[in-house]
């Protein structure tokens, strides 16, 4: 049984489909997405529908990222910042919705349920824990504040978490399009929606990394070792 972890998807359906093709999921495999399924890319609806289907088949464990948090908050109040600065307009367009007072009701109820009820904030494994953004190194995993697990950027060098487990996260874009091994953490946000970007997926046990992009290209790479600047 494999545990495969996918970084920030951001509406990049072509890249996601290519990764799943490469993964060739088998019975017993577990797929975990690190959040930021939506926004910026062109097909957030297609990404959500594909992931919801995998969730129903008990293959997927989805995490909630800051973009899912913004999506939920925008539906309840002011959405200007989400629409203009965070890529929310692309999400609504993928649902065939123009921003306006009634857009919340135009999003299928199963989407809201998936994000609200099915997505988790953190997953703990035997030797790793999976989270969207970051954690406070000195706090137990059960005590992490939402402002950190959804929003906090990585600022290396990183302190190991008190659990001694390796953190696997996204949220902080790795500029060279390569996932980075910081020693106590692996970051898988490789800028899928950027022109230079790739969507990354790692096998937790073997450290094998598959990448795909919106042009349908694919490659295998290694976790890029972080080197402290001089």
> What is the three-class DSSP state of 19?
helix
Q: Which residue is it, tokens 């999921």?
A: 25
Average pLDDT value for residue range 124-144: 98
pLDDT at 67 over 70: yes
In this structure, the number of other CB atoms found within 10 A of the CB of residue 22 comes to 14
Supply the pLDDT for residue 175: 85
Whether the CB-CB separation of 104 and 128 falls below 8 Å is answered with: no
Closest by CA position to 174, among listed 158, 159, 153, 157:
153
Q: What are the Cα distances from residue 177, in Å, to 143, 147, 192?
A: 32, 26, 8
Supply the pLDDT for residue 17: 98
Helix axes 13-23, 44-56, angle to 10 degrees: 30
Average pLDDT value for residue range 85-111: 90
> What is the three-class DSSP state of 53?
helix
Give residue-wise pLDDT tens across range 148-189.
Answer: 999 999 999 999 999 999 999 999 999 889 999 999 999 999
Supply the pLDDT for residue 81: 85
Confidence of residue 230 (pLDDT cuts 50, 70, 90): low
Q: What is the value of pTM for the model shown?
A: 0.96
Residue 124 CA from chain centroid, whole number: 16
pLDDT at 99 over 80: no
Supply the pLDDT for residue 115: 98
Supply the pLDDT for residue 51: 98
Whether the CB-CB separation of 144 and 135 falls below 8 Å is answered with: yes
Average pLDDT value for residue range 186-205: 96
Beta bridge partners of 186: 168, 181
The domains located in the chain, with CATH, are: 3-121+187-225 (3.60.21.10)
């Amino acid at each position: 049984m494999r545990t495969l972890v996918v970084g920030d998807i951001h509406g990049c359906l072509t890249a996601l489909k290519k990764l799943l093709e490469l993964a060739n999921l088998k019975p017993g495999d577990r797929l975990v997405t690190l959040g930021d399924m939506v926004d910026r890319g062109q097909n957030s609806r297609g990404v959500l529908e594909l992931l919801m289907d995998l969730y129903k088949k008990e293959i997927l464990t989805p995490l909630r990222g800051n973009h899912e948090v913004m999506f939920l908050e925008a539906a309840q109040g002011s959405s200007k910042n989400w629409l203009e600065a965070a890529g929310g307009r692309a999400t609504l367009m993928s649902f065939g919705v123009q921003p306006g007072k009634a857009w919340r009701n135009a999003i299928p109820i199963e989407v809201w349920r998936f994000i609200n009820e099915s997505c988790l904030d953190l997953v703990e494994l035997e030797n790793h824990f999976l989270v969207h953004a970051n954690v406070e190194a000195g706090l137990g995993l059960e005590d992490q504040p939402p402002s950190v697990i959804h929003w906090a950027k990585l600022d290396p060098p990183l302190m190991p978490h008190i659990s001694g487990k390796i953190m696997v996260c996204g949220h902080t874009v790795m500029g060279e399009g390569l996932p980075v091994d910081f020693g106590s953490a692996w970051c898988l946000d490789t800028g899928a929606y950027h022109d230079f970007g790739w969507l990354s997926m790692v096998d937790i046990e073997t450290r094998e990394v598959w990448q795909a992009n919106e042009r349908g290209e694919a490659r295998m790479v290694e976790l890029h070792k972080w080197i402290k600047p001089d």
